[in-house]
Amino acid sequence: MRSSNPVLVRTMKSGGYAAMGSTTTTSPETLETLYNAPAASSLRTGRMTIDDVVTRTGILFTTLVVVGAAAWKLNLGGGALMFGIFGGFALAMVNTFSKTVRPALIIAYAALEGLALGTLSHFYNTAYPGIVSQAILGTIAAFAGVLFAYKSGRITVSPRFTRIVVGAAIGYLILGVISMFAAMANVGGGMGLYGVSGLGLLLAVAGVGLASIFLILDFDQIDKGIKAGLPQEESWRAAFGLMVTLVWLYMEVLRLLSILRNN
């Protein structure tokens, strides 16, 4: 029976396995060949598999963690932070809209994100000791919860669900713009019920929720890509999309925790 989890479970292609009901005697050599067939399936077919996505995702996150750890240890300043943020944003746009999958640019994006997150996390941890560990645990918990909900079928992706998520994202951006202008105007508590700080808390909670929901869309797109038999190189794009959402989730969790700690 096939699981709906697109990340942790191997996608089983009918061509990679022997018929279960066959009565033909199978030699040990044949069994070994059949056992090893799934690992080589993407090489034979040139199609994306879940193993490809997991492997590429692992490469990207290893790059991000290594660069991030170096940035943390070196305690780089605001210049490195800005370079990581704006450089990462530029490469994100290139990788998102490019018709050709460019693994080198995707890995470079992961490195720049590591530079930005390592530097930013050091700033936050200096102001709020222990907050980075809490943010990492919160991100893992959110990821595990969403993965369980998707795998168990408690949440299914439909066109209506996607429209609702996109609408919520637009509302989130609008609130973000309002919050930015309110902070610039320094109106303090004059905004009524929420005020600037209250709106910031609302945005942080909404950001965590939206990033978590976008993980579901990522899982669904990966699953559909595998079923559709997309080319193997598309696994880089799938891994890139998953990493972008997880980075977003981590930053929102970090921001939410900082607001709560500050209050």
Mean pLDDT for each consecutive 10-residue tract of the chain (263 residues)? 36 33 46 46 68 93 95 90 94 92 95 95 93 94 89 81 82 73 52 52 86 90 90 93 93 91 78
CA distance linking residue 223 with residue 231, whole number of Å: 14
Checking phi first, is residue 94 left (phi over 0); if not, alpha (psi -120 to 50) or beta?
A: alpha
CA distances from 252 to 39, 75, 146, 176 (A): 36, 22, 16, 13
Angle at 249 between CA 215 and CA 99, to 5 degrees: 55
SS3 20: coil
Rounded-to-integer distance, Cα 36 and Cα 231, Å = 21
Rounded CA-CA distance 121/67 in Å is: 13
pLDDT value at position 11? 34
Give the pLDDT of residue 202. 81
Task: Read off the tokens for 157.
Answer: 């992706």
Residues 6 or more apart from 236 whose CB is under 8 A from it? Answer: 56, 101, 103, 106
Whole-number pLDDT of residue 45: 58
* Model pLDDT, residue 185: 57
User: What is d(CA 94, CA 100) in angstroms, rounded to the nearest whole number?
Assistant: 10
Angle at 208 (CA atoms; ends 207, 209), nearest 5 degrees: 90
d(CA 133, CA 112): 21
- For tokens 């919050």, the residue is 179
Count the neighbouring beta carbons within 10 Å of the beta carbon of residue 189. 11
- pLDDT in the model for residue 23: 39
